[in-house]
Structure 1
């Protein structure tokens, strides 16, 4: 082969490489996080270029529906789950579900030419999905953390996050019974950072306080607020299923007020201030890693429970989203939100946004 031909081949390969890199999700932090992690004085907002408007995917999501929902809700980010099988609520062992990992990769590839950031989430699937992740209480804490790091996080980083240029990794979700082990939690984040250069978060569960009559709730909140794991992450994620009222239905106005003075059980919880406290304590932006409400009556009594009422009510769900929008949209410390849940529209999907809710979400940060 002549020297001239060799040079031409090299130039063609370089051009193809640059073309591929440019077109592979050009806004993806996966390509530039080496740069952004070295920029002094920049906020996370500048890393994402805008506030995050994301959608959490149902574990049984349909890829075509996901693509439709991105456009329908005008999202700039997706929270992509990969199912982690857990045999029982006390198990300290777990394994990655192969079909779920394969589908996540297929979806990420389809997003190659869209300007969509990806948050990757290992999603605990306990007792075949019959038990929520908040009920997981491993029987051996040390074994749990070792297995979670090596059998879940390490493998997902190697097989998905790094090769497919994922923008952020959610290292854990609502570890209600594990979060108190601060050294282990901090080690978990350190483990991720040693292997992955993107953004790292941990999603904590919502909480309740009732200063007038239940000081023990306030003490639990203070313990959560002071947990050192939040010093380790790039941004703090919260599953925002806060209990607001006991009403069958609500106006946007009374829900907006309830976010600073809840009326359920007359707890008088100031949710907005308690959330802001995390920003003030750790100087990290706050992200609603799950924000969802069933499209039924009583959607605000226990937003985490889709079975509080069988009376369908699209407007009630929409009012909830609008109240959060009113309270948090303009706060500089609020990084954004992720709608729970999209990608599947079956009748049993009570959290899928109604048309009324979709209009509010679409115009959020427009």
Structure 2
């Protein structure tokens, strides 16, 4: 009986020791590098598309804040009852259409800013994309045919306009879990028309479950990790909270042997900014909470040699944000922008 108990304890302890050792190796390897190194590949912003006109001031402001990549998002809309994906609507903002995306890429390149093209879905009834589902095989096949057309069209545009990075999906946990073959086939089809780098934007809570990471060039994560229940969390406490998430990322990264890019990360300038960063349910302005959350993310990630950088959510191409809700993800005209500018500076 005692031997069985010892064996049982070893079965519990040994995997934990392996995990901790892997984390230690990664941290030790990172810390052996110079602590001043912040020359990450992607010092990015997710750009909210211009409504109708692309302004030079947008790119000038991005350059002033040391941004070297933008993510452009050609939205498409899912009609669940018809199992369709539609895009390039006449009522869409110009910057979300194929024409607007192409023009924005050209303008971006004029300012020596590179591009990640990142198609997003919007489900008309407000359903979270990760829960997208259909009842029948016929519906799934119709939706997949529509989605493939959408993605391949923008992959071809990405190739034509010399886009460096193409992200072919965002937070689609259930469709990937239920229909993995479709996604492997889609990746193969993308490779035939687009010769740049490819990633996928997994949600923070399911990035370990994605089956096709080895087929891509980067592990992509929308990094809205829950970190603190505090109204105004301190940088120190947030740094400690990051460790459990970093451990999971490191284990996957070592298994797949691909660098990690945060396809989205960001915090609202509100109370509880780091509690559930994906929610927009707080109504009290807290610029310090947002700034602390950004500071901690950069302190915790930016010197990891496996971290390729990421794209902050979000930057408005138009200035209408000044007239809307003063609580928003954008760091524009907030203390958080100085944090970003500081860490995005090449060293």
- TM-score with structure 2 setting the length: 0.77
Which sections of structure 1, spanning at least 5 residues, go unmatched?
1-48, 208-220, 261-269
Which sections of structure 2, spanning at least 5 residues, go unmatched?
1-38
> Structure 1 residue 195 and structure 2 residue 193: aligned?
yes
2: distance between equivalents of 1:278 and 1:59? Answer: 33
Paired residue for 1:288, among 253, 262, 266? 262
Contact 1:91 1:137 in 2 (8 A): no
Q: How many residues align?
A: 289
Cα offset, 1:110, TM superposition: 1.4
2: distance between equivalents of 1:241 and 1:200? Answer: 21
Contact 1:199 1:234 in 2 (8 A): yes
> Structure 1 residue 80 and structure 2 residue 50: aligned?
no
The corresponding residue for 1:257 is 240
> Structure 1 residue 133 and structure 2 residue 129: aligned?
yes
2: distance between equivalents of 1:111 and 1:59? Answer: 13
The corresponding residue for 1:166 is 163
| 1:1-366 alignment runs, 5 A limit | 50-59=40-49, 63-64=54-55, 66-88=58-80, 92-98=83-89, 99=94, 100-101=96-97, 102-127=99-124, 130-139=126-135, 140-149=139-148, 151-158=149-156, 160-180=157-177, 181-207=179-205, 224-225=207-208, 227-260=210-243, 270-307=244-281, 309-343=282-316, 344-345=318-319, 346=321, 347-348=324-325, 350-353=328-331, 354-366=333-345
Q: Which has the higher contact order (CA 8 A, sep 6+)?
A: 2
The secondary structure found in structure 2 opposite 1:111 is helix
- RMSD between superposed Cα atoms in Å: 2.1
The secondary structure found in structure 2 opposite 1:122 is coil
- TM-score with structure 1 setting the length: 0.74
Once the two structures are superposed, what CA deviation does each residue of 1:120-161 show, in whole Å capped at 9, x if it has no partner? Answer: 111112218x44433433443333223211x20121223x21
Cα offset, 1:60, TM superposition: 5.2
1: distance between equivalents of 2:341 and 2:192? Answer: 37
Cα offset, 1:57, TM superposition: 1.7
Contact 2:46 2:311 in 1 (8 A): yes
The secondary structure found in structure 1 opposite 2:279 is coil
1: distance between equivalents of 2:287 and 2:128? Answer: 25
Cα offset, 1:59, TM superposition: 4.4
